[in-house]
Amino acid sequence: MKQKIFRFFANLKFSIFILLVISACSIIGTVIEQEQSIEVYKLNYPLTNPLFGILSWDRILYLGFDHVYKTWWFLFLIFLFGCSLILCSFLQQLPSLKIARRCQFFRTTNSFSKLDNFTILTNFSFSKILTTIQSKQYSIFQQKNMVYGYKGLIGRIAPIIVHFSMILILLGTIIGSLFGFKAQESIPKTENFHIQNILSTGTLNIIPKESARINDFWITYTKTKTVSQFYSDISILNKKGNEIKRKTISVNDPFITNGIYYYQTDWSLLGLRFKDSQNKTIEYPLINVFPNQEKVWLTWISNNQLLQNGIIVLIDNLEGYCSIYNNIGQFLGNFEINETLNFNQPITLSEIISSTGLQIKTDPGIPLIYLGFFFLMISTLISYVTYSQIWIIQKNQQLFIGGNTNRAIFEFELEFLNFIKKNS
């Protein structure tokens, strides 16, 4: 009974079915936004217009389609698929490899008629044909008048390595879902921060109590004034606030420490800092004109306490200048750092206050996933190795010779004909 159950789970049709179910769930997770607030789902999937005619926001939340890849049933499907691969490897692939390594002699000449390549020689040299076959890298086994040879046995290992690599990838996925987390932080330059704004976290994850500081943030521009790259200089601090590690990160160049990845993802402007004639600091907050669309900020600087008269300051870069408009929208010119603006009292622009956007995440399953894909690439290369077999029986004055291969059939036929020509 146990053997029947194991063979059912090891069946190829069952594995394909589970894989198709996982693929369908992954498609749902791609179509439906993941890890969003309830308001987002109420807005995009209202009860009056459900997705696919059945998926309204309440059903999406009930079924867990808002976090597909972390639901118990998705992890169970992955576990089930992994078990199927393991059982298939032990019940089918490994026994098949053992059979391939055995000396499979043909006892009768009737077996040759079942081969794709088969002939009978009457004029031959038995020792010469064995030498020819051996020169083609075949492993040869002889028992009296029977000969068996094979080559490319390593090609039969490829399916086992494929299963092993997929198991590693699935295991890495499960570990990442259970123990990983992702956070998004926006930190002003020179400020310390802790990991607080958690976007998603695994069931068994513990958020590390890391403390860090943004030493500096800057942007480089191209000749056409478009953003080339932006950088953050980050220091990791110990419990006493002392620096223990430091690195300047940029887009696609994260800071990796203690299994935590710090990615440069965004930037923003927070305000303008001025100094008056008495060297006192005055700060004006910046407001994003087009949230989530374009990076353009503005502020209003008044020259009296009634806030009726003043100027509009517009800024969209970190190159050290901003544009000035009057209260009716007329352009007055550009205003640079360390330049003085004359109001009822002169003020000097001393600093543009910026913040950097960081994505902080950890995924302990990543090494296993990378290792799984490495073995998957190795198995792809190994699978190109052709597994070929040769059988020979000498009976009276006749030599029965035949062969088979699992791929590269045309090349094997040419090789087989070459054996015949050299020994007939």
140 domain residue, yes or no: yes
Amino acid at 131: T
Question: Which tokens belong to 123?
Answer: 């004029």
Query: 7 and 91: one domain?
Result: yes
Q: Of 354, 376, 393, which marks where a domain is finished?
A: 354
Mean pLDDT value of segment 281-307: 79
Query: 274 and 331: one domain?
Result: yes
Contact 235, 215 (CB under 8 A): yes
Query: 58 and 111: one domain?
Result: no
The rounded Cα 123 to chain-centroid distance in angstroms is: 61
Query: 64 and 106: one domain?
Result: no
Confidence of residue 304 (pLDDT cuts 50, 70, 90): low
146 domain residue, yes or no: yes
Please say if the pLDDT value at position 394 is more than 80.
yes
Query: 82 and 48: one domain?
Result: yes
Confidence of residue 414 (pLDDT cuts 50, 70, 90): confident
Contact 326, 332 (CB under 8 A): yes
Distances (CA, A) of 1 to 5, 11, 15, 204: 6, 15, 20, 36
> Which of 384, 390, 379, 380 lies closest to 408, judged by CA?
384
Please say if the pLDDT value at position 308 is more than 80.
no
396 domain residue, yes or no: no
Three-state SS for 56? Answer: coil
- What pLDDT score was predicted for residue 199? 83
Please say if the pLDDT value at position 180 is more than 90.
no
Q: Of 58, 77, 95, which marks where a domain is finished?
A: 95
What distance, in Å, lies between the first and last C-alpha atoms of the chain?
55
Mean pLDDT value of segment 250-268: 91
- Between 274 and 35, residue with greater pLDDT: 274
Number of domains in the chain: 3
Query: 82 and 15: one domain?
Result: yes
79 domain residue, yes or no: yes
Query: 91 and 133: one domain?
Result: no
260 domain residue, yes or no: no
Contact 397, 224 (CB under 8 A): no
Three-state SS for 119? Answer: strand
Query: 8 and 31: one domain?
Result: yes
Query: 87 and 106: one domain?
Result: no
Question: Which tokens belong to 366?
Answer: 């990543």
Query: 281 and 347: one domain?
Result: yes
- Phi, psi for 179 (deg, rounded to 5): -115, 0
384 domain residue, yes or no: no
Model pTM score: 0.69
Question: Which tokens belong to 134?
Answer: 């051996």
Q: Of 330, 354, 378, which marks where a domain is finished?
A: 354
* Dihedral, CA of residue 24, residue 28, residue 31 and residue 37, to nearest 10: -160
Contact 177, 205 (CB under 8 A): no
Whole-number average pLDDT of the chain = 85
Q: Which of 145-149, 337-341, 373-377 has the highest mean pLDDT?
A: 373-377
- What pLDDT score was predicted for residue 1? 65
170 domain residue, yes or no: no
Query: 350 and 330: one domain?
Result: yes
210 domain residue, yes or no: no
Please say if the pLDDT value at position 39 is more than 70.
yes
Residue 135: partners with Cβ closer than 8 Å, 6 or more residues away: none
Q: CA-CA distance, 319 to 218, in Å (whole number)?
A: 9
Mean pLDDT value of segment 314-319: 87
> Which residue segment(s) compose the domain that 34 sits in?
2-95
Please say if the pLDDT value at position 89 is more than 70.
yes
Q: Residue 317, CB half-sphere, CA atoms under 13 Å: how many?
A: 18
Please say if the pLDDT value at position 102 is more than 60.
yes
Query: 64 and 120: one domain?
Result: no
What secondary structure, in 3-state letters, does 294-355 show? EEEEEEEEECCCCCCCEEEEEECCCCCEEEEEECCCCEEEEEECCCEEECCCEEEEEEEEEE
